[in-house]
Amino acid sequence: MKVLVVGGAGYIGSHMVVVLLEAGHEVVIYDNFSTGYRDAILGGEVVEGDLADPATLDSVLSDGHFDAVMHFASNIEVGESVREPAKYYKNNLINAVNLLDAMRRNGVSAFVFSSSAAVYGEPQYAPLDEVHPRAPVNPYGRTKWMVEQILGDYDSAYGLKAVSLRYFNAAGADPEARIGERHEPESHLIPLGLQAASGRRESIQVFGRDYDTPDGTCIRDYIHVNDLCQAHLAALDRVVGGGESAAYNLGNGNGFSVNEVIETARQVTGREIKVVDSPRRPGDPAVLVADAGLARKELGWEPQRPGLESIIEDAWRWEQKIGRSA
């Protein structure tokens, strides 16, 4: 197949490009490089462009004869979305509609969308399945849920088929350390902890130790980025192969506490990681764990690196590489 990967220079997008190429697909990357990295692109054709530019989108899509589009170009910081909602509604929502309309104009009707567990809001039970009420509590989550609803309308009206993949906590890196997680600023626990282990950061914060969990710290579901990409590959086969639109949770179904993540990072690295205790952050649920049974059943997907140790080992190889060049 020929696939347009929008946001293919970012963390998950760049790993997706590698997985697509290794599976024998033809890939074109569309990225404005506002947060992505040129050296994270390990193959495929590159087009520098913005989703706010319909003319460039049309130029790429009209010439390409694409089978499908994958979307990885959203802004992802929850806190920033509260402070700067306009940025999130413009990029995550309006620009997504720009992309869908360009697909319609150019006869591309298969779409794989990076959604988020943030569509659920405060968990009413755990683990979360796909029928859990969608009640996002911040602009980031609202933009993801709005796009999912738009996709349903575009399917009904225009026959555009889409699979929305609701990520929990993507983590890890390419096992060969060719690419990995590189956010500026970084806000995710595993890379923050590994930066503290490598000496690039003095310490990390633990936000609250009084949650209703076994050790008092929050519990999250971590999924290896390559496992995430394999689910996208299965979703691609579904939408291009004539399957119906759908939404799936992507997670391991196992929760690990903040304390467990930090302790595992210490064991993997053999380094000390200094921790600073801080107050709870507003809106942090005690437990956020996926029920990904539907993706296993309907996509035939199974995580190949479900263990926290293997996720952190791959991330540590990447941190050692990037730390040397920082």
Give strand ranges (E) for 49-148: 68-71, 110-116
Higher pLDDT residue, 101 or 79? 101
Task: Share the mean pLDDT of the chain.
Answer: 96
pLDDT for res 156? 98
Work out the pLDDT band at 185, boundaries 50, 70, 90: confident
1: burial class by Cβ within 10 Å (0-12, 13-18, 19+)?
Answer: middle
Sequence-distant (≥ 6) Cβ neighbours of residue 165 within 8 angstroms: 112, 113, 114, 115, 228, 231, 232, 235, 247, 248, 250, 295
As a whole number, mean pLDDT of residues 65-91 equals: 96
d(CA 316, CA 326): 15
As a whole number, mean pLDDT of residues 204-212 equals: 96
As a whole number, mean pLDDT of residues 130-151 equals: 97
pLDDT for res 258? 98
Work out the pLDDT band at 324, boundaries 50, 70, 90: confident
As a whole number, mean pLDDT of residues 5-14 equals: 98
Position 28 pLDDT exceeds 90: yes
Domains of the chain with CATH codes: 2-170+223-250 (3.40.50.720), 189-220+253-325 (3.90.25.10)
Beta bridge partners of 231: none
As a whole number, mean pLDDT of residues 65-77 equals: 96
Q: Considering just the CA atoms, what is the radius of gyration of the chain in Å?
A: 19
The first and second tokens of residue 212, run together, are: 């209703």
Work out the pLDDT band at 179, boundaries 50, 70, 90: very high
As a whole number, mean pLDDT of residues 168-192 equals: 94
pLDDT for res 77? 92
Count of Cβ atoms closer than 10 Å to residue 184 Cβ: 6
pLDDT for res 326? 57
90: burial class by Cβ within 10 Å (0-12, 13-18, 19+)?
Answer: middle
Position 136 pLDDT exceeds 90: yes
For the question of residue 140 being annotated catalytic, the response is yes
pLDDT for res 184? 86
d(CA 27, CA 99): 17
As a whole number, mean pLDDT of residues 252-271 equals: 96
Selected catalytic residue, list 120, 140, 211, 222: 140
Percent of the chain whose predicted confidence (pLDDT) is above 90: 93
Phi first, then psi: give them for residue 143, nearest 5 degrees: -65, -40
pLDDT for res 149? 98
As a whole number, mean pLDDT of residues 80-100 equals: 97
As a whole number, mean pLDDT of residues 45-49 equals: 98
